[in-house]
Structure 1
Amino acid sequence: MEFWTIRPRANDRLLDAPRVAGLLAGVEGGGRGLAADLLDLLAAQLPLAQCTVFVHDGAASPAVLSYADRARTRELPLISRDYAARFHAWDGSRLAMASREARAGGLLLQRQAGEDIFEPEYRRICYERPRIADRAALLSRLEGGRWLSVNFYRGREHGKLGANELGAIEAWAPLVVQLARLHEARQRSDEAMPALLLARLQQRFPELGARDLDLLRALLRGGDVAEVGAALGIRPASARTYLKRLYRKLGIGGQRELWALLMAPASRAPARKGD
């Protein structure tokens, strides 16, 4: 496990203008394919298996911003959620974020292999099960003391990252991090109104649990049943069951009534069934 500050360097691997425009358009459009775009960008330079993007805010569980997998496993959504909920405190990136180098500013690269992890479940779920040999994390400080973490994972079949491959990641780091920062800012703007609506609903229904709130967040992002399931790391059939339970808890019959409940002023909100 090691980390260092990325020094400015020339990048002779230039992108053509249409490719850059396409990457920026993907960010501007608010799409969910950030990690896939970043993985495709770097995988053209070196073999990589996965990409995840998180936003860390102090000791709280990090927010999962995006993830992508090159046909390796369908469990990456669940693995990402497990990492955010259970394992982030053991990540070597936390040491890098609290380091003297971090306080000096600049972009950091933190490297971590499976054998660097002492917590057995973290190592098993996030590295051994998906057959990951190595990870390079690009770390950039955001406003408010938050940190952006863009993680590239190397499969065991390709061995650990070599010096030239780490150099390639460093060369692309400024563009990668800038795209991720733009995506995070766009998503934060897009989520301002859903967050307000969710807070209002939570005031009316304080009995809503953590899974209920996760379901509502996924719905407010415009997801269908399959996308809700993917966001929560569960099958569509399970997502459909959880949604039915949520609707019963809210006293409504379906998604159309949910939108009416969310948008209605508190004083004129539809009456709950049984009230």
Structure 2
Amino acid sequence: MHAESTLGAMSEMVSIIGDPAFGDRFFGIVERMIGADHCTVFVSHGGGVQTLVAEAQTDAAAARVRQLAGLYSERGYRTDPVWNRASPRPTETAVHAEVIAPGYFADPAYRREFYEKPNIMEEIALSAEVGCGRRVYASFYREQGRARFSEAEISALQASAPVTMQVLAKHADLTHAVAAPSRSLSREDLLRRVQQAMMDENSLLTQREAEVCTGIVLGYTILGLSLNMGISVNTVATHRKRAYAKLRISSQNELFAHYFSLVENLS
């Protein structure tokens, strides 16, 4: 997947936080991005593990995935070496990504239940600690009979992993909240409100700088912003550089993280 497409996928993920159809829409994004046959996402919560996403390409396959996800969150995670590889560290921020084949699992019962019976050939697993010892574990699967994940697909998922895990953590926060805020705003309305919030925040950003940052979150490239805003590529790059300096960030992923800190306060 091209960098522009990966950025668009990250932007789309951001826009669905809190959506009642989050699981289905999240799977649609990653299916287009890496061609996964199904995916699961689990989060540690209240001393246990809960299923956040369990989706597949067809309704019948999704039903099987949800059944397996239920077994995993009930007892499977206890013997999963990936889940239990490291104890939670509150300061851990890195996303661990790896490609796993069924032969990785020494426990024959676990391997049979969660890989051989569902006909899994390969998995890309992402795991991250998201604060206060909480863990997010996302898995993307290819079934037997298909080609293995390509290097380009693995790279695309790895490039989006920091944003992906933040999206999942934020959605989990809303899911577990006693009174989750309304998410009736359209994507465009929400992004306009974020743009205004960026401008209002200690009056750090100019309107143009906030507009550029919002455009990046929406998935626009520098060239795309240049065409939409009617200014040169160099001017867009200058606005971005100044905005990043004012926000004390240095990367696109950090900009998404800043967006998350703002969107939590918007209903």
Q: Place the TM-score, normalised by the shorter chain, in its bin.
A: 0.5 to 0.7
| Counterpart selection for 1:110 from 83, 98, 104 | 98
Aligned equivalents of 2:85, 2:98: Cα separation in 1: 7
Where do residues 80-229 of structure 1 align in structure 2 (5 Å cutoff)?
A: 80-98=69-87, 105-190=93-178
Residue 5 of structure 2 aligns with which residue? 13
Mean CA deviation greater in 176-185 or 114-123: 114-123
Change beyond 3 A, Cα 1:124–1:139: same
Residue 263 of structure 1 aligns with which residue? none
Where do residues 59-98 of structure 1 align in structure 2 (5 Å cutoff)?
A: 61-71=48-58, 73=61, 74-98=63-87
Aligned equivalents of 1:63, 1:104: Cα separation in 2: 21
Aligned equivalents of 2:73, 2:6: Cα separation in 1: 34
Change beyond 3 A, Cα 1:61–1:104: closer
Aligned equivalents of 2:80, 2:149: Cα separation in 1: 18
Q: CA deviation at 1:15?
A: 4.6
SS of corresponding position for 1:153: strand
SS of corresponding position for 2:169: helix
TM-score, scaled to structure 1: 0.55
Q: Is the 8 A contact 1:67 1:77 kept in 2?
A: yes
Find the structure with the greater CA-based Rg: 1
**Amino acid corresponding to residue 50 of structure 1 in structure 2:** H
**Amino acid corresponding to residue 144 of structure 1 in structure 2:** C
Q: CA deviation at 1:152?
A: 0.9
Gap runs ≥5 in structure 1: 1-9, 193-275
Partner deviation per Cα, 1:225-251 (whole Å, 9 max, x = no partner): xxxxxxxxxxxxxxxxxxxxxxxxxxx
Q: CA deviation at 1:96?
A: 4.1
Aligned equivalents of 2:179, 2:68: Cα separation in 1: 23
Aligned equivalents of 1:184, 1:56: Cα separation in 2: 10
Q: Is the 8 A contact 2:42 2:49 kept in 1?
A: yes
| Counterpart selection for 1:26 from 16, 19, 22 | 16
Q: Is the 8 A contact 2:125 2:139 kept in 1?
A: yes
Change beyond 3 A, Cα 1:91–1:133: same
Residue 251 of structure 1 aligns with which residue? none
**Amino acid corresponding to residue 75 of structure 2 in structure 1:** R
Q: Is the 8 A contact 2:121 2:141 kept in 1?
A: yes
SS of corresponding position for 2:132: helix
**Amino acid corresponding to residue 166 of structure 2 in structure 1:** Q
Q: Is the 8 A contact 1:90 1:117 kept in 2?
A: no
Aligned equivalents of 1:162, 1:24: Cα separation in 2: 25
Change beyond 3 A, Cα 1:165–1:96: farther
Aligned equivalents of 1:110, 1:83: Cα separation in 2: 19
Residue 4 of structure 1 aligns with which residue? none
Change beyond 3 A, Cα 1:144–1:133: same
**Amino acid corresponding to residue 155 of structure 1 in structure 2:** E
Q: Is the 8 A contact 2:78 2:84 kept in 1?
A: no
Aligned equivalents of 2:176, 2:56: Cα separation in 1: 24
Identical columns (%): 21
Number of aligned residue pairs: give it. 177
Partner deviation per Cα, 1:241-264 (whole Å, 9 max, x = no partner): xxxxxxxxxxxxxxxxxxxxxxxx
1:38 to 2:26 alignment: yes
1:53 to 2:36 alignment: no
Change beyond 3 A, Cα 1:108–1:191: farther
SS of corresponding position for 1:173: helix
Residue 232 of structure 2 aligns with which residue? none
TM-score, scaled to structure 2: 0.57
**Amino acid corresponding to residue 137 of structure 1 in structure 2:** A
Q: CA deviation at 1:191?
A: 6.7
Q: Is the 8 A contact 2:92 2:130 kept in 1?
A: no
